[in-house]
Amino acid sequence: MKNKTALLKVSNITKSFPIPSSFFSAKKQTFQALDDISFELFEGECLGLVGESGCGKSTLAKVLVHLEEATSGKIVFKETDITHIEKNKLKSVRAEIQMIFQDPFSSLNPRQSIAKTIQEGLDIHAIGTKAWRKEHVRNLLQKVGLESDLVSKFPHQFSGGQRQRIAIARAIATSPKLIICDECVSALDVSIQAQILALLKDLQIENNLSYLFISHNIAVVQYMCDRILVMSAGRILEILPSANLQENAKHPYTKELLKAVLSPEFKQENDTLKKESVDKELRNTNGIIDTGEMLASNETITTGKTTNIASVKDKEIALNISGETAGSLKENAGLQEKKTENEKKEQAYTMTNSFACPFYPRCPQALAICETHVPDGKNFQLGHGMQTVFCHLYD
Amino acid sequence: MTLLSIKNLSCSITSKKEKILPLYDINLTLSKNETLAIVGESGSGKSLLCLSLLQILPSPPISIETGEIIFKGQNLLNLKDKELQKIRGKEISMIFQEPMTALNPVFTIGEQIVEMLLTHENISKKDALDKAEYLFERVKIPFAKKRLEAYPHELSGGMRQRVMIAMALSCNPLLLLADEPTTALDLTTQAEILTLIKELKEAYETTMLLVSHDLGLVAQYADNIAVLYAGEFVEKAPARELFSAPKHPYTQALLATIPILDKPKNLTAIKGHIPQGNERLSADILKSPELYLQRGCNFAPRCTYALKKCFDETPPLFSLNAQEQVRCWLHEK
Ligand SMILES: Nc1ncnc2c1ncn2[C@@H]1O[C@H](COP(=O)(O)OP(=O)(O)OP(=O)(O)O)[C@@H](O)[C@H]1O
Ligand code: SF4
Ligand code: SF4
Ligand SMILES: [Mg+2]
Task: Please state at what angle helix A114-124 crosses helix A160-172, rounded to 10 degrees.
Answer: 20
Task: Please report the pLDDT score of residue A249 as a whole number.
Answer: 97
Separation of CA B4 and ligand 4 centre (Å): 21
pLDDT tens digit sequence for B64-79: 999 999 999 999 999 9
Is pLDDT above 80 for A319?
no
Q: Indicate the SS3 state at residue A219.
A: helix
Is pLDDT above 70 for B303?
yes
Residue A168 lies in a domain: yes
Task: Please report the pLDDT score of residue A26 as a whole number.
Answer: 57
Q: Indicate the SS3 state at residue A355.
A: coil
**Highest-pLDDT range among A220-224, A369-373, A381-385:** A220-224
* Cα nearest neighbour of B123 on chain A: A319
* C-alpha–C-alpha distance, residues A207 and A143, integer Å: 11
Is pLDDT above 80 for A291?
no
pTM value is 0.82
Counting ligand 1 atoms within 8 A of each CB, the residue from B11, B24, B44 with the most, and so the one to mutate, is B44
* Cα nearest neighbour of B275 on chain A: A159
Alpha-helical segments (H) within chain A: 57-64, 87-96, 114-124, 130-143, 160-172, 190-207, 218-224, 245-248, 252-259, 278-282, 291-300, 309-319, 326-352, 369-372
pLDDT tens digit sequence for B186-226: 888 888 889 888 988 888 899 999 999 999 999 999 999 99
Provide the 10 A C-beta neighbour count for residue A363: 20
B191-198 long-range Cβ contacts below 8 angstroms, 24+ apart: B191/A259, B191/A260, B191/A262, B192/B158, B193/B158, B193/B161, B193/B162, B193/B165, B194/B220, B194/B221, B196/B139, B196/B140, B196/B162, B196/B165, B197/B95, B197/B165, B197/B221
* Average pLDDT value over all residues in chain B: 91
A322 Cβ under 8 Å from any chain B Cβ: yes
DSSP code per residue over B176-228: EEEESTTTTS-HHHHHHHHHHHHHHHHHHT-EEEEEES-HHHHHHH-SEEEEE
Task: Please report the pLDDT score of residue A303 as a whole number.
Answer: 31
Q: What is the mean pLDDT of residues B20-35?
A: 95
Q: What is the mean pLDDT of residues A216-226?
A: 95
Task: Please report the pLDDT score of residue A313 as a whole number.
Answer: 32
- Per-residue confidence band for A3, with pLDDT thresholds at 50, 70 and 90: low
Task: Please report the pLDDT score of residue A274 as a whole number.
Answer: 40
Provide the 10 A C-beta neighbour count for residue A10: 24
Query: CB–CB of A216 and B187 under 8 A?
Result: yes
Task: Please report the pLDDT score of residue A341 as a whole number.
Answer: 45
Q: Which domain holds residue A199?
A: 6-242
Is pLDDT above 90 for A336?
no
- Per-residue confidence band for A22, with pLDDT thresholds at 50, 70 and 90: low
Non-local (6+) Cβ contacts of A216 within 8 A are A50, A51, A52, A53, A183, A186, B186, B187
Number of residues that make up chain B: 333
Task: Please report the pLDDT score of residue B137 as a whole number.
Answer: 87
Measured torsion, CA atoms of residues A265, A269, A272, A275, in degrees rounded to the nearest 10: -160
Residue A75 lies in a domain: yes
Question: How many structural domains compose chain A?
Answer: 1
DSSP code per residue over B94-148: EE-SSHHHHS-TTS-HHHHHHHHHHHHS---HHHHHHHHHHHHHHTT-TTHHHHT
Is pLDDT above 60 for B113?
yes
DSSP single-letter state for residue B10: E
Is pLDDT above 70 for A324?
no
B91 Cβ under 8 Å from any chain A Cβ: no
In chain B, what is the greatest distance between 2 CA atoms, to the nearest angstrom? Answer: 68
**Ligand 2 contact via A370 beta carbon (within 6 Å):** yes
Task: Please report the pLDDT score of residue B158 as a whole number.
Answer: 82
pLDDT tens digit sequence for A231-259: 999 999 999 999 999 999 999 999 999 99
Is pLDDT above 50 for A290?
no
Q: Indicate the SS3 state at residue A229.
A: strand
Residue A81 lies in a domain: yes
* C-alpha–C-alpha distance, residues B163 and B180, integer Å: 15
Is pLDDT above 80 for A287?
no
pLDDT tens digit sequence for A58-80: 899 999 998 899 999 999 999 99
Provide the shortest C-alpha distance from residue A28 to chain B (in Å).
22
* C-alpha–C-alpha distance, residues B49 and B10, integer Å: 9
Question: Residues A166, A196: contact at Cβ < 8 Å?
Answer: no
A276: left (phi over 0), alpha (psi -120 to 50) or beta: beta
Strand order, beta sheet including A6-19? A29-42, A6-19, A72-77, A80-81
* C-alpha–C-alpha distance, residues A297 and B10, integer Å: 48
Question: Residues A38, A236: contact at Cβ < 8 Å?
Answer: yes
Q: What is the phi/psi pair of residue A251, to 5°?
A: -70, 135
Residue A15 lies in a domain: yes
**Nearest CA owner, ligand 3 atom 1:** B328
Task: Please report the pLDDT score of residue B168 as a whole number.
Answer: 87
- Per-residue confidence band for B99, with pLDDT thresholds at 50, 70 and 90: low
Residue A365 lies in a domain: no
Q: What is the phi/psi pair of residue B317, to 5°?
A: -80, 115
Provide the shortest C-alpha distance from residue B11 to chain A (in Å).
23
* C-alpha–C-alpha distance, residues A165 and A156, integer Å: 13
Counting ligand 3 atoms within 8 A of each CB, the residue from B233, B254, B270, B307 with the most, and so the one to mutate, is B307
Q: What is the mean pLDDT of residues B277-295?
A: 90
* Cα nearest neighbour of B262 on chain A: A244
Q: Indicate the SS3 state at residue A165.
A: helix
Question: Residues A19, A30: contact at Cβ < 8 Å?
Answer: yes
- Cα A201 to Cα A5, A144, A229, distances in angstroms: 20, 11, 19
Task: Please report the pLDDT score of residue A20 as a whole number.
Answer: 63
Task: Please report the pLDDT score of residue A270 as a whole number.
Answer: 55
Query: CB–CB of B261 and A280 under 8 A?
Result: no
Task: Please report the pLDDT score of residue B261 as a whole number.
Answer: 96
In chain A, what is the greatest distance between 2 CA atoms, to the nearest angstrom? Answer: 88
Task: Please report the pLDDT score of residue A226 as a whole number.
Answer: 94
Across the strands, what pairs with B179? B211
Task: Please report the pLDDT score of residue B273 as a whole number.
Answer: 82
Sign of the alpha-carbon torsion through A139, A142, A143, A144? positive
Task: Please report the pLDDT score of residue A27 as a whole number.
Answer: 61
Is pLDDT above 70 for A90?
yes
Sign of the alpha-carbon torsion through A322, A326, A332, A334? positive
pLDDT tens digit sequence for B114-149: 988 898 888 999 999 999 998 888 888 888 888 899
Task: Please report the pLDDT score of residue B279 as a whole number.
Answer: 86
A79 Cβ under 8 Å from any chain B Cβ: no
Residue A289 lies in a domain: no
Is pLDDT above 60 for A129?
yes
How far, in whole angstroms, is CA B108 from its chain's centroid? 28
B294 Cβ under 8 Å from any chain A Cβ: no
Chain A residues inside the 8 Å CB shell of B243? 264-266
Is pLDDT above 70 for A294?
no
Query: CB–CB of B140 and A261 under 8 A?
Result: no
Classify residue B243 by burial, with Cβ atoms within 10 Å: 0-12, 13-18, 19+. Answer: buried
- Cα A119 to Cα A107, A127, A134, distances in angstroms: 15, 10, 8
Provide the shortest C-alpha distance from residue B21 to chain A (in Å).
20
* Average pLDDT value over all residues in chain A: 77
Provide the 10 A C-beta neighbour count for residue B294: 13
* C-alpha–C-alpha distance, residues A279 and A326, integer Å: 8
Q: What is the mean pLDDT of residues A145-171?
A: 85
Q: What is the mean pLDDT of residues A310-323?
A: 30
Residue A346 lies in a domain: no
Which of the residue ranges A38-42, B98-102, B151-155 would you say has the lowest mean pLDDT?
B98-102
Task: Please report the pLDDT score of residue B219 as a whole number.
Answer: 95
pLDDT tens digit sequence for A261-279: 999 998 766 554 444 433 3
How far, in whole angstroms, is CA A280 from its chain's centroid? 38
ipTM of the complex: 0.86
* C-alpha–C-alpha distance, residues A154 and A115, integer Å: 9
Is pLDDT above 80 for A109?
yes
- Per-residue confidence band for A53, with pLDDT thresholds at 50, 70 and 90: confident
DSSP code per residue over A46-77: EEEEE--TTSSHHHHHHHHTTSS--SEEEEEE
**Ligand 2 contact via A360 beta carbon (within 6 Å):** yes
DSSP single-letter state for residue A108: S
Measured torsion, CA atoms of residues A145, A147, A148, A154, in degrees rounded to the nearest 10: -100
- Percentage above 90 pLDDT, chain B: 62
Number of residues that make up chain A: 395
CATH for A181: 3.40.50.300
Residue A361 lies in a domain: no
* Cα nearest neighbour of A225 on chain B: B264
* C-alpha–C-alpha distance, residues A231 and A235, integer Å: 5
